[in-house]
Chain A
């Protein structure tokens, strides 16, 4: 199996992503060099922090075009947390910012009140189980293949990634009465709102599935 390229654009805990991949028996390199990314066959785009800063970092490293180019070559790309949100067209976090535009949709704040007027604590932090929105068949074929009903994953975020096409959301989770997209996919481009590298054994199974894709 080829090594996996983890894109480094300055922030957050990249070590745990690397360790998670190593635990799955896969070699990972953490890099911000365009040439490493251009030649990759599988890429993970991690991320914590704010959308705008992240896009600025990717831009200043010259990586926006690089990621768009490799994604169009149909290589496997997994965005985690903010990395998932960056896959979409735009976000309104700290002013409207353009994303990578690889999956049609936009990033919006989790509503601070639910439809019964009860306040949602923001950020959403905690373990939630995944729900198959409309018996989406991609669930059984993609990275969720090994996920069993009840398996819970670790979420920590204040914004959510809404895809324009329902079919691109292959799993969501419930936060109060709010349906939050948890896994999105369009062709070979996948995003997880939760952190598979921080979700115990069930999370590592998802990383393993991505590696074996």
Chain B
């Protein structure tokens, strides 16, 4: 099995993304119009058993209230889920990060608080290691090959250029980029490939493409043309339009290295 050069010898990671509001797994379109899907950990366990390589839990109203409410959900998940868990939403300090890691998260994804206070990136990566510090970037297209950073789950514009921000974030110690296209999110129209490419061209750290995966085949361009190291999936899984196993098989057919996993 040969890897395209964009994967650089690493296997493509297939990540299930769970957006949470209160106690519920929800899903919106372009991060708005949130609809309740069900209980987060029922879905998380299903994806784990299907062979998801990682899980991302995103508290999508946390920034509004200034804190993350996911500790209990994460602690419950660790009883029967044994893959890496990234938690984002409302993490504003070293102490917040410490608490969510203690609750069972492996990495924290930070957007709003990092934009307001970029030194938080440096402090978290120094304290817990850069592998723990995922820079979450919500990107909205402003013109051809130009995207603006949004915060507060796609609600607030910042005037900051996405590519510049990613470079700065990596310099400050971010070990990974979770790149969400606000325009494509929930639309099932495929990833914003030029966004992914613009970021991976400038980033020495792995980039997770997020937002817009409508069919398993959408991941092919994200890797071959975009240079993504991982894809995040939400809508496509939550509504049962596909499952991790089919996505994995699509990746294998496209010639990508993936984790070998056998569904029992």
Do residues B229 and A126 form an inter-chain contact, with CB atoms below 8 A? yes
Contact bitstring B179-192, A, C-beta under 8 A = 1, else 0: 00000000000000
Most B CB atoms within 10 A — which of A14, A15, A82, A114?
A15
B175: interface (CB < 8 Å)? yes
Count of chain B residues with Cβ under 8 Å from any Cβ of A? 41
Count of chain A residues with Cβ under 8 Å from any Cβ of B? 48
Min C-beta distance of A19 to chain B, whole Å: 5
Do residues A126 and B10 form an inter-chain contact, with CB atoms below 8 A? yes
* B contact residues around A174 at 8 Å (CB): 9
Do residues B13 and A125 form an inter-chain contact, with CB atoms below 8 A? yes
B226: interface (CB < 8 Å)? no
B104: interface (CB < 8 Å)? yes
From A16, A19, A126, B53 is in contact (CB under 8 Å) with: A126
Given contacts A15-B78, A16-B104, A16-B106, A49 and B128 within 8 Å (CB-CB)? yes
Do residues B8 and A127 form an inter-chain contact, with CB atoms below 8 A? no
Min C-beta distance of A125 to chain B, whole Å: 5
Do residues A48 and B261 form an inter-chain contact, with CB atoms below 8 A? no
Contact bitstring A61-80, B, C-beta under 8 A = 1, else 0: 00000000000000000000
- The distance in angstroms between the C-alpha atoms of A150 and B106, with both chains bound, is 25
* A contact residues around B79 at 8 Å (CB): 19, 23
User: What are 25 A-B pairs at a CB distance below 8 A?
Assistant: A11-B129, A15-B78, A20-B82, A48-B106, A48-B128, A48-B131, A48-B132, A50-B126, A82-B129, A118-B5, A119-B8, A119-B204, A122-B205, A123-B176, A124-B10, A125-B175, A125-B230, A127-B53, A127-B258, A152-B260, A154-B83, A174-B9, A176-B10, A195-B106, A200-B51
